[in-house]
Structure 1
Amino acid sequence: MTEPGQTAADDGADHDEQLRLRAEVRDLRARARAHALIAEAQGVLRERYALSDADSAFTLMRLASQRFNVKMRTLAEILLSAPRPRDREAPWFPRRARLAQPALSFPAARRVGPGNRGGVLKAVLTQTLAVVGTDMGNVQLVDRVRGGLRIEAHTGLTADFVDFFGHVGEHGTSCARAARDVAQVTVHDVETDPVFTASAREAILAAGSRACHSVPLTTASGLCVGMVSAHLDHPLGGLTTAQLKALEAVGAQAGQWLAWHERTVVLDALEYLHALGNGSAQP
């Protein structure tokens, strides 16, 4: 509503400014989440390799990240959760088995290059949305440091949704329940399903989602390492047995691939970082 003395153009300018400020706050929150983790990893590296400053530690991480195409945040997360090297001069992971990259048989993954985690996550999301029949969804991975799940890929969802659910804990959402139970979870109607907290329900509805289905990404041992969720703009009666079976296969293949990637590509990156730190490798 236009206030006395205020024009419609003023209202439009105020609205644009509000949108700009909200976008700025979202960006700052996202940067802060990643920066805190990377800063903690830098501190560990400075102490471990007697580095002179944080920039030197950042350089080691950047070189390893670029060489192995691993996100800085992922590198920091695994570095902080991995056991400390037993010997500064010896390999960090001397006896690990090197396994072949698992095959991904679903159609959306056929064009993904070797070791490309971002490409695999997008393919998992694309395939899931195709099976469910929607164009809104997201992929989350287990946060090794904080616990819970964090969004890694998404499509068709609002920026406010991605900001609100950027990291979720172990309760209050359907994806959290699916991760906890390691089972697919269908929310037939977001408005009435008791799984959500009031704030989560409001955020989902504001994004235009009225129903959702979450599929855990599981390793061969049944460990949940991530989640893919499809959102629909209308209540969902249910999925067919064939759909559920297809989604289970996507979740299992994706989970096994992610476990391989962490044990192989990410540890290769950490091993290289370790070698840079102890001087046995050159950039």
Structure 2
Amino acid sequence: MTSRIPLTVQPTTDQVAVVCLSGPLGADTCADLALELEQHMGRVARQGQRLVLDLAGVELVSAAARRTIQRATDHLVHEPVLVVAARPSVRGVLEQAHLAGIRLHETLADALASLPLPPAPETSPGTPPPGHAPDQADNMREELSCLRAAARTNGLIGIAQGMLMARYDLPGPAAALTLLRTASRQLDVPVRELASAVVTAPPPGTAEEWFPGRATHVPPPAGAFLRAYGGDVLDRREVLAAAVHEAIALSDADGAEVHFTDAAQDDALFLDHHHGLGAAYRDQVTLVTEPPVVCARAQRQCESVTVPDVAADPGLAAHPAGHALLTAGTQAVHSTPLITTDGHCAGTLTLHWGKPGVRLTSEQRHSLDTLTTEIAAWRSWYLRTVVLDALEYLHQHHRPRSPRS
């Protein structure tokens, strides 16, 4: 008997298809691994694409699995499978094997950069000049970074689907995903966020209500930032965009990012909003679990962390996220934790500068601390109101399996 390997198949672009594997690739998974590789390589070959294997979730590769990969890919020496995000131990195993049919890359952005650019269309009056072709390639790379970001949370979404199927007797994963997506659209809550809530929330209280007696319209927190914002506090994207631009304005930063913690993933930090950051860097910080990434340092210490010179910081400079920062022109970063009134770190706000040696003044630091406190309060309110409303919507709009005749 074989053991199924956790697998996620991502949507494709014209050039590549991304397949994400997770868990240990042991001897008992070889038959499934060979079948999956054969199917996906056949499909991309028919569609004129390249296969990308994202191994970020793979814990180990056995000798038997390595031989399986070799047999499946040896004929692809001229158009090898692109392997990305392998852990050091996994990467070491694959490097030592000298597999002719794969190419190892640290990030998806690196893998995509290795591909030839799509041929530029023939120019005609009114069409952009040839110099625009690299921009088209950058857009494709950015799109695929977003696909990989989604892949990193698809395991969580799969767990939520399973829970909904069991709880509501839904006919299959597609029905559970449709329910998640419908509630996501209705309440404007990201599917990933809603899946996390499904996994971490207590079971529904009654058949009619998930949260019996809960007040559905608790007033949002009062603060200078939200008053100045003046928009819809239910609109997550607009609130965070305003917060990021406020942080950039008060600090003279060149870019910024907001991460929030995910209770369903051991309080890992997921990237929720950003401004002025390159795709390669975002690829590295989509989901952050530990230092030396600066936001993880701020989360762990529950206090602000400044790196005035990324290149001079040994841990960060040697990390892929540090490489991506420097490549994108970021020389200094500062991260502030989002601390709630009960002392919990709800996330981080991180600023970027294009020159080294930047340090916030005491006035800037005070203003930033005030802003992040308000963001933390808004985030806590959002989870207790909007996200719970979305769970209530799920509970009241599910459609169980039709009775068999």
Cα deviation, 1:54-87, whole Å, max 9, x if unaligned, reads 2222232222212211111111111111122244
1:245 is matched with which residue?
Answer: 366
Change (3 A) 1:278 1:132: same
**1:133 deviation in Å?**
0.0
Q: For 1:92 and 1:82, how far apart are their aligned partners in 2?
A: 10
Q: Aligned to 1:145, what secondary structure does the other structure show?
A: helix
- Distance in 2 of aligned mates of 1:222 and 1:48: 34
On the 8 A contact 2:311/2:317 being kept in 1, the answer is: no
- Considering Cα pairs closer than 8 Å and 6+ residues apart, tell me whether 1 or 2 has the greater RCO: 1
| Cα distance, 1:109 vs structure 2 | 5.2
Among candidates 75, 81, 99, match of residue 194 of structure 2: 75
Aligned to 2:303: 183
Change (3 A) 1:93 1:180: same
Shift of 1:234: 0.6
1:190 is displaced (CA, Å) by 0.5
Distance 1:170 1:264, change over 3 A: same
For residues 223 and 14 of structure 1, the distance between their equivalents in structure 2, rounded to whole angstroms, comes to 44
Return closer, same or farther for 1:47/1:208 CA change in 2, 3 Å cut-off: same
Provide structure 1 residue ranges, at least 5 long, that are not aligned to the other structure. 1-12
Displacement after TM superposition at 1:238 (Å):
1.7
Shift of 1:108: 9.2
Q: Which letter maps to 1:122?
A: A
| TM-score where L is the length of structure 2 | 0.61
- Is the 2:261–2:268 Cα contact (8 Å) retained in structure 1? yes
Change (3 A) 1:50 1:152: same
Residues 1:16 and 2:117 aligned together: yes
Would you say 1:129 and 2:230 are equivalent positions? no
After TM superposition, the structure 1 stretch with the greater mean CA deviation from structure 2, 172-181 or 242-251, is: 172-181
Match of 1:225, SS? strand
Task: Identify the structure with the greater strand proportion.
Answer: 2
The 1:56–1:202 alpha-carbon spacing in structure 2 relative to 1, beyond 3 Å, is same
249-258 vs 220-229, greater mean Cα deviation = 220-229
Count of aligned pairs? 267
Does residue 274 (structure 1) correspond to residue 395 (structure 2)? The answer is yes
Output the amino acid matched with 1:110. Y
- CA drift at 1:26: 2.3
Structure 2: segments with no counterpart, 5+ residues: 1-113, 119-133, 401-405
> How many percent of aligned residue pairs carry the same amino acid?
38
Q: Distance in 2 between matches of 1:114 and 1:182?
A: 26
Structure with bigger gyration radius: 2
* Normalised TM-score (structure 1): 0.85
Code of the residue aligned with 1:204 in structure 2: it is L
- Let me know the Cα RMSD of the aligned residues: 2.5
Amino acid corresponding to residue 114 of structure 1 in structure 2: V
| Secondary structure of 1:196 counterpart | helix
Partner of 1:101 in structure 2?
Answer: 220
Quick one: distance in 1 between partners of 2:197 and 2:228? 25
Change in 2 beyond 3 A, CA 1:23/1:258? closer
